[in-house]
Amino acid sequence: MSNLVNLVVIALIAVSIIAIYNSLVRRRNEVDNAWSQIDVQLKRRLDLIPNLVETVKGYASHEKATLDAVVQARNSAIGASSSPNAQAAADSAITGALRQLFALSEAYPDLKANQGFVSLQEELSNTESRIAYARQFYGDAVLSYNSAIQKFPGFIIARVFKFAKREYFEAEDAARDTPQVKF
C-alpha cells in the first residue's frame, strides 16, 4: 500500500514538473514570436524610408542635414544587434529623425501636396501603429514569461532548465521628445 502511495506521489510530482516546464516553454516561445512581429514591422519601416527620403529630396534638397540624419538612423538600425535594447535605441533614433523629416515637410506646401509623399507618410503611420501594437504584445509576453520564471514553483524549474529572464523593448527618453526644427 505504501509503495502505491509513493508511486502516486512521484507520478504527481513528475506530472507537475512536466506541466510547469511545458508552460515555461510555451511562454518563452510566445516572447520569441512577439519579438519576431516587432522585427518584421521595424524592417518594413526601414524599407519605406529610402522612398520617403527620395521624395523629400526633390522638394527640399537643401535640407541635407535632416535627410542625412534619416539615412544615418536607418543605416544604424540595419546594423544594430537583434537584442531588444539595441533595437530600441536604433528605433528611437529613427523615430526622432522621421519626426524632424515630417516637421520639415510643413515648410514645403508642394511636398505636403505630393501624392507619393502623402502615400508614404500614411504607410509609415500605419507601420508605426503596427509597431506600437507589436511592442505592447511583446511587453505582455515578456511580463507573463518573466513572472512565470520568478514565481514559485516555476522558478525552481526555470533555474534547473536555465530559463533566462527576457528584457523589455523600451524607447529611450530622446524618442519621446518633440523635435526642434528651425528655418
Confidence of residue 22 (pLDDT cuts 50, 70, 90): very high
How far is 96 from 66, CA to CA, in rounded Å?
A: 10
Tell me 173's DSSP state.
G
pLDDT tens profile 136-163: 999 999 999 999 999 999 999 999 999 9
Q: What is the pLDDT of residue 143?
A: 98
Q: What is the pLDDT of residue 183?
A: 36
pLDDT tens profile 113-137: 788 888 988 999 999 999 999 999 9
More confident residue, 11 or 179: 11
| Maximal C-alpha separation, the chain | 89
Q: What is the pLDDT of residue 180?
A: 46
pLDDT tens profile 45-82: 999 999 888 888 887 777 888 888 999 999 999 998 88
Contacts of 46 (CB under 8 A, 6+ apart): 74, 77, 78, 94
Q: What is the pLDDT of residue 172?
A: 61
- Angle of CA points 50, 53, 55, to nearest 5°: 110
Confidence of residue 179 (pLDDT cuts 50, 70, 90): very low
Mean pLDDT, the chain, rounded, equals: 88
Domains of the chain: 2-176 (1.20.1440.20)
